[in-house]
Amino acid sequence: WRGSMVAFRPKDKASVFVSNSVTQIEKRGYPAGCPHVNGFKVDNWKQNLRVIYQCFVWSGSAETRKRKAKSCVCHMCGAHLNRLHSCLYCVFFGCFTKKHIHEHAKNKRHNLAIDLLYGGIYCFVCQDYIYDKEMEQIAKEEQRKAWKLQGEKYSTWEPTKRELELLRHNPKRRKMTTNCTIGLRGLINLGNTCFMNCIVQALTHTPLLRDFFLSDRHKCEMQSNSCLVCEMSQLFQEFYSGHRSPHIPFRLLHLVWTHARHLAGYEQQDAHEFLIAALDVLHRHCKDDNGKKANNPNNCNCIIDQIFTGGLQSDVTCQVCHGVSTTIDPFWDISLDLPGSSTPFWPLSPGGDGSTLNGESHLSGATTLTDCLRRFTRPEHLGSGAKIKCSGCHSYQESTKQLTMKKLPIVACFHLKRFEHSAKLRRKIITYVSFPLELDMTPFMASSKENRMNGQYQQSVDVFNDNKYSLFAVVNHQGTLESGHYTTFIRQHMDQWFKCDDAIITKASNKDVLDSEGYLLFYHKQFLEYE
């Protein structure tokens, strides 16, 4: 899972894959998991473990949730967070991040503890989370009971008899090694179609989108020769077939021309415009109308909205009564202004003291992605020419407007506005913007708004920060507004980058990626929750 830059937590499909793998290991006669669990398996250990899951992990009822909120604090520092664990041998809660649970384990020789958020069992002798078949079964049973009490209909994925039969009859597996080139394939330029090729490379290397298409999840309700989703599915098959010769995406180009008429023709087009058009057509062609409630601001269950849709919160504050009007709108990307444009930019760098945020240093004076996000989320005075009718004052008043992230998407796409079009000016902005390999979006969340102090933010120290992202694709534009060329850097493994220049693919370094100009930046969430 780490190879895909995504860490799934123990309550999702990853635990099933681990369980199945360990079961196969046991059948082949290899060591059956952690040997230290035997010291715990005495007397009424099963009932004791069930009580811990019921009261302090899954907490299905309102009463148990209240009890958990009140009692589950670190017995040493009193913290609620910091990855709280409970000792399996005695009544002791300790935080993992500050190693208070480690101190307890060492002093008392209590070698096993349970993660109170996700239910994983940790062994302090093995120094890792462990698997035990009986414990896993108890965890699953109690989790299902909790879901039932909460009225949810979640279920863990397990292979069907048919799938197990296929696995038994086809023991050969394709392994992803560090030198593996599966998934890397060039695309023929069909005449100024580099704008399309660079976006296709970014989409085909989006982990969850790849998993969706390679597992045949799309059920087409259109004519297959007119469905863009069917063509994308075929494209993923071509990319991951192992063939090395460049692919000719003529059918994709034809469908784009058919469904996005403004992109038809052989003129050079904008890669950002193509991305939005492609996502829109894919969304329309694979829209899921099965009635299930969607957990995204677009209220749609299609794979595009599950991955790319976030929620942007707009707070308009009256300057007289300070009443706040809030709206939340869906977005697929965030467009960011750059220094050098006709739009005033603030701030260029925080304090000029060489401070670092998201691993971006300001010593060189370069503008950073964090600077651009600061400007995007700063309060903006709308002025006397844009008065709004305040529901509190019942009259038109001046106001301030501030944008923040209400809900982050799995894939965050940032569009650096390098092309400026106005009545007086048409040009490309070549300002260098420094962007990090890992990005923490916590300071720009609506929930962090109260922590803002003159544009400065309090950084989260939580190891499992749900708002952290990893860079996996960068689209660049070389040349001028009238004549240019698009290329893409894509991340194949955790530490391997490749440059895709139409039909030519070459290896690249981290420095090559981070020194590039940057036009579209694609970031993937590091941790995903099962939904």
Band (pLDDT 50/70/90 cuts) for residue 147 is: confident
Contact call for residues 369 and 435 (beta carbons, < 8 A): yes
Band (pLDDT 50/70/90 cuts) for residue 488 is: very high
Average pLDDT over residues 439-452: 79
Least confident of 39-43, 73-77, 293-297: 293-297
Q: Indicate whether 387 pLDDT > 50.
A: yes
Phi-psi region of 43 (alpha: psi -120 to 50; beta: other; left: phi over 0): left
The catalytic residue positions are 194, 485
DSSP H or E stretch at residue 33: none
Band (pLDDT 50/70/90 cuts) for residue 485 is: very high
Handedness of CA 345, 332, 275, 176 (dihedral sign): positive
Residue 342's φ and ψ, nearest 5 degrees, are -75, -15
Average pLDDT over residues 335-347: 72
Q: Is the pTM of this model over 0.75?
A: no
User: What are the tokens at 348?
Assistant: 């260029």
Q: Indicate whether 526 pLDDT > 70.
A: yes
Say what the pLDDT of residue 188 is.
94
Work out the mean pLDDT of the chain and round it to a whole number. Answer: 81
Average pLDDT over residues 319-345: 82
Percent of the chain residues topping a pLDDT of 90: 34
- pLDDT, tens digit, 9 for 90 and up, residues 389-432: 777 787 777 788 888 899 999 999 999 999 887 767 778 888 89
Unique residue bearing structure tokens 């123990």: 10
User: What are the tokens at 57?
Assistant: 């992990």
- pLDDT, tens digit, 9 for 90 and up, residues 74-128: 999 988 777 899 999 999 999 998 899 999 999 999 999 999 988 999 999 999 9
Least confident of 210-214, 352-356, 412-416: 352-356
Least confident of 112-126, 132-146, 298-312, 441-455: 441-455
Q: Which residues pair with 428 in a beta bridge?
A: 419
